[in-house]
Chains A and B, each alone.
Chain A
Amino acid sequence: MNSIKFLYSAYAATWTIHLLYIGSLVRRYRRLKQELSELKQK
């Protein structure tokens, strides 16, 4: 049984989930910033 493979998979999965969430926060922040600047220009 190659348990190391499962260990690293679990750690990689954890950080993938967290990074995807942080990425979604950054994306939403950029979109809001864009909307805010468009509103300011009007």
Chain B
Amino acid sequence: MTTTSPSQTAFLPADWRDLLALTKPRVMSLVIFTGLCGLLAAPERIHPVIAFTAILCIAMGAGGAAALNQWWEADLDAGMKRTANRPLPQGRLDRTTARDFAGVLCAVSVFLMGFAVGWLPAAILAISIIYYSVIYTIWLKPRTPQNIVIGGGAGAFPPLIGWVAVTGHVTLMPVLLFAIIFFWTPPHFWALALFVKSDYAKVGIPMMPVVAGEKATRHQILIYAVLLLPLSVLPWWIGGTGAIYGISALVLSSLFLALSIRVGLRERSGEDDAMKPEKQLFAYSVLYLFALFAVLVVDRFIVL
């Protein structure tokens, strides 16, 4: 067993696990999943190696953007309980290493996508990285309570990229998949923001509950959930999917709406309120997106 002296600690190299943690692996799993679903739901086929490369590039791009986000927000993360254990606020990584790692991931993901898959998906991937790391993280998040609405677009790109990687062009269906995630993001994040409000307020992030108040946030959650219901069924209505997807989307979105109504019309009983409906909506929103995109793929391969 070796003890580390103070002079040694200052020069400890970055551990690969900390570099991996910078990429937000849990968020990345949803990105990979929706990207893969977009790729599998597309009406054409590509070589499995090219498909694998497309998903790898989406994952690397998302990881790079997440690392850029953590590099930029290291000081803010240190002030929030939820993020204080990340490698940068903990000092397990230095900021230059994090920035360089993020830059390499982003650059390799875009160029590999361009060379191996196509320059249109590569361009959309580059836009999504800039959208998340610059437009959302640097510009909107610290300035407006609508940060989540516009910034949510960043998370909506993966199925679009997956689809375009296969077909080579943008059509209505992948745009609808983009729109579904875009409209899903605000209720998902605001449900979270409602029960971690004090954390955001502490570091001065103008999240909707902090700036506009709880009541306005609850109403906005409800509005987006109402809009999400017809939007999620639209791919079936325009003939882009079959009945398996259509009926599943109707059921899943109705439940999403029901949970949102409970949150939207609710008044908090007091400071010691456990916020159970908000936590349930947040948990269900993650399950909802996984299930919706899973049935999209199932529908593509099973013809009734």
Do these two chains really belong together in a complex? Answer: no
Residues of A within 8 A of B (CB): none
